[in-house]
């Protein structure tokens, strides 16, 4: 599989992508794990653009991988990485969050689920809640939408 970037590889198979000498990306469906010098620094759900963008910013901020090398390894345009960096610098992690990714109104089932989860665990973060929503409903919501629903 040498020569293929992460975007071109099968997300349903187990594989390892090496980026330089210090960074490894392990694809272990449904998660992708990132290691620096054999220490796990991140894992995210495959297909989660928000989580992947956060990991890419983490790698860029580590100064272990250049923008062109990281862009080539992940199969994305280098301008996308600069956009992620700029968004992160101005708005933190929320700057990386895609705008609402749901078709129209949120169903009552999802609203009830969010409210129940928030009541049971008031320390539940937005990232954790969105992971649960992604896993259970294949849905990611914006901060403002969740705040309105939890209200």
Q: Which residues of the chain have pLDDT under 70?
A: 1-2, 99-105, 150-151
What is the chain's length? Answer: 151
Encoded tokens for 18: 């090496």
Segment 8-28, tens digit of pLDDT? 999 999 999 999 999 999 999
- The DSSP secondary structure of 78-124, one letter per residue, reads HHHHHHHHHHHHHHGGGGGSPS-BSSSSPPHHHHHHHHHHHHH-TT-
**Separation of CA 79 from chain center:** 18
Task: Give residue limits of the domains in the chain.
Answer: 6-96, 108-150
- pLDDT score recorded for residue 77: 96
Q: How far apart are the first and last CA of the chain?
A: 49
- pLDDT score recorded for residue 151: 60
Q: How far, in Å, CA of 20 to CA of 8, rounded?
A: 18
- pLDDT score recorded for residue 102: 47
- pLDDT score recorded for residue 150: 67
């Amino acid at each position: 599989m040498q020569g293929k970037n992460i975007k071109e590889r099968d997300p349903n198979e187990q594989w390892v992508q090496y980026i330089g000498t210090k960074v490894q990306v392990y694809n272990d469906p449904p998660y992708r794990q990132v290691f620096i010098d054999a220490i796990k620094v991140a894992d995210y759900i495959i297909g989660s653009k928000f989580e992947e963008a956060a990991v890419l910013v983490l790698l860029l901020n580590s100064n272990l991988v250049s923008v062109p090398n990281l862009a080539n390894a992940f199969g994305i345009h280098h301008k996308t990485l600069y956009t992620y960096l700029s968004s992160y610098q101005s708005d933190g992690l929320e700057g990386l969050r895609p705008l609402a990714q749901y078709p129209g109104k949120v169903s009552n089932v999802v609203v009830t689920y969010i409210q129940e989860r928030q009541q049971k665990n008031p320390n539940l973060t937005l990232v954790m809640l969105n992971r649960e929503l992604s896993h259970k409903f294949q849905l990611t919501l914006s901060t403002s939408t969740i705040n309105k629903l939890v209200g």
